[in-house]
Amino acid sequence: MRFLTTFGMTKKSPSNFEGVARKARRGSLYETFCCFLLSAFCFFSPVSAQIRVGSGTISGDFSFNGMYYIPDSLIGAREVDSKVRGNAWLNLNYTNGGFSTGARYEFYLFPLIDFQDINYQGQGITYFFADYKNNFIQVTGGYFYEQFGQGLTLRAYEDRNLGIDNSLLGGRVKATPWKGIQLKGVWGIQRYNFNFDYAKRNDNVRGLDAEFALADMIPKLSDNGVTLTVGGSFVSRFEKAEDKMFNIYIDTLQYHDFYNNHSIFEFTATDQPNVIRVQGVIPSENIPQNVGSWATRLNFGIKGFRLEGEYATKINDPNLSNDYIYKNGEALFVSASYSMKGLGISTSFLRADNMDFRSQRDAAPAYAALMLNYIPAINRQYSYQLLGNYSYASQPNGQIGAQAQVNYQIPRRTKIGGRYGTDITVNYARFHDIQKTFVPLSDTIGTVTGTEGYTSKFFAFGKNLLYQDIGFDISRRFNRQWKLMLMYNYINYNMTLQGKPGMLSGNHVGFELTYKINDIHALRLENQYLIIPKENNLEDKDKGSWMFMLLEYSISPNWFITVSDQWHFGNEKGLHYPNGAVAFVYGTTRLALNFGKTRAGILCVGGVCRAVPASFGLGLSVTTTF
């Protein structure tokens, strides 16, 4: 038992988000207006290529995404303090031979509301670096992104759509001492949104990685079409430990001996008979300050066959996401595929157990901020609008599942395949929670906190189905003008993935029809239905089926005009979410204007998800590179 009982009380300090929100409410819209002006300037700027400065070049990119918000109580679009909001950033990079340096300025002082909700709010120079590399070594100072293998031990990356920037501020060295051998070493402090007071941080990250491409080192392997790579990594997170307070619940009748042996005299009564609440504490000396995680990996390929896998483990890491238990973590990823002309087959297996690994043990598990590693989602990733609202979110602390996919092309110039051939994709994915047997002490004290947590058989599936997808799509070009794709999916989606009760089971059907009028003009029609039976045990706002329809008219390569609508039919409110958008592309610059409604839901990229609130308004986005 790694905890003690105590009777003190702690006072929770207000979150950093609340302070930022108060400052934002006191600000003006002047900065946001300046962003619009800067967007217009970049859009009409003639600069569309790298700029020469002596023997070096300057390159970069700029992006602005803004919106004027209109409240709508029907769809749940809330009133916001500043109706005009926007996200903007500017990257500038200078390169001269093997030397490069750069910086990024971000303006999120009045961000889009979904970014404000995850505390991604502020402004300043958020990224800078200096880098030198040659054929032997690469040295980076400042901020950098890095990934070891599949990312099971370390993945410092960014995703602008999700509001994630997990870059490291520190140093990195990469070396290639011999052909086929690559060594990496990193040290840094992970970025946490716009909190740049690194001097007060009590955490840092250190890591080593080695990879050996044996086919490059042994010519006979490559001569026979064999690729073989082995590697390993080790990552250590340091964070100063402090006492951790928690509640213990004891049934004085059922666990009478425990109650008497621990001489508990001070307690708080609860609303359950014979159950008392006692204040417990995990002493700081029992909380590991250095948490290590290591992994081994293998990539093998010969002709059309490929096998890759990685196994990672992590020492006990009591943290907020696992209720401060002392169980080791582990993860296994295996993927096999075979491809030949007209046929591709792939299968994957994934298991993750207590592998939520962050720079700070008290980081909120609902957000991806301060996440050090990455547990990939191996299910098929869809761009379909309706299925996107029920994408699977990878569960690093407990998931086991598999995926299989077959891609087949019926040959061209056959009766079934037609003149251009017919493409067929069939896939299946299924994920469960892991089987858990909780330690007896957790029953005694009414919590797993401070205990070993549970045991779990490695290949045992838990009772709770998290996600299942059975689907196929068929795509066929009839002639130079017409192309049709048909799609079908049956999904089971556990709504606990979005923090809601119930299991959604539904049939998704749809089609996408493209008509190429000529080499410049084209029309695309997309229609989808998500049929959800009434017997689904869902919250009222999630009951009922959905329809989505989109019509796009394009004038290549400059203009794209779309109108769309999502209709929640079968629900007593029968809400519509219409949207219209116009996009103009000129060189490396894209300008888009849209007006309409967005339903509340989630946005997922590669199994990492965040909540998206309902919204209604006028949006403007500008992106350009030079």
Tens of pLDDT, residues 167-203: 999 999 999 999 999 999 999 999 999 999 999 999 9
pLDDT of residue 40: 47
d(CA 269, CA 277): 6
What are the C-alpha distances in Å from 19 to residues 122, 199, 611?
A: 11, 20, 22
Per DSSP bridges, beta strands 503-516 and 521-531 are antiparallel
DSSP 3-state of 6: coil
d(CA 210, CA 230): 9
pLDDT of residue 534: 81
- The helix (H) or strand (E) run that includes residue 33 is helix 30-44
**Tokens describing residue 402:** 């598999």
pLDDT of residue 573: 81
pLDDT of residue 265: 47
d(CA 80, CA 615): 10
The residues with which 126 forms a beta bridge, in sequence order, are: none
Asked if residues 439 and 451 have their Cβ atoms less than 8 Å apart, the reply is yes
Domain layout of the chain by residue ranges: 137-239+283-341+353-376, 245-282
pLDDT of residue 13: 36
Three-state SS sequence of 421-463 = CEEEEEEEEEEEEECCEECHHHHHHCCCCCCCCEECCCCCEEE
d(CA 353, CA 456): 9
Q: Does pTM surpass 0.95? A: no
Residue-wise pLDDT tens digits, 121-138: 999 999 999 999 999 999
pLDDT of residue 25: 44
d(CA 228, CA 222): 9
Give residues with Cβ within 8 angstroms of 401, minimum separation 6: 349, 350, 351, 378, 379, 429, 430, 431, 432, 466, 467
Asked if residues 393 and 497 have their Cβ atoms less than 8 Å apart, the reply is yes
Please report the sign of the dihedral spanned by the C-alpha atoms of residue 43, residue 44, residue 48, residue 51: negative
pLDDT of residue 257: 57
User: Of 8, 40, 447, which Cα lies nearest the Cα of 249?
Assistant: 447
Positions in the chain whose pLDDT score sits under 70: 1-49, 250-267
Q: What is the DSSP letter of 217?
A: H
pLDDT of residue 537: 77
Give residues with Cβ within 8 angstroms of 197, minimum separation 6: none
Asked if residues 20 and 111 have their Cβ atoms less than 8 Å apart, the reply is no
pLDDT of residue 256: 53
Q: What is the DSSP letter of 14?
A: P
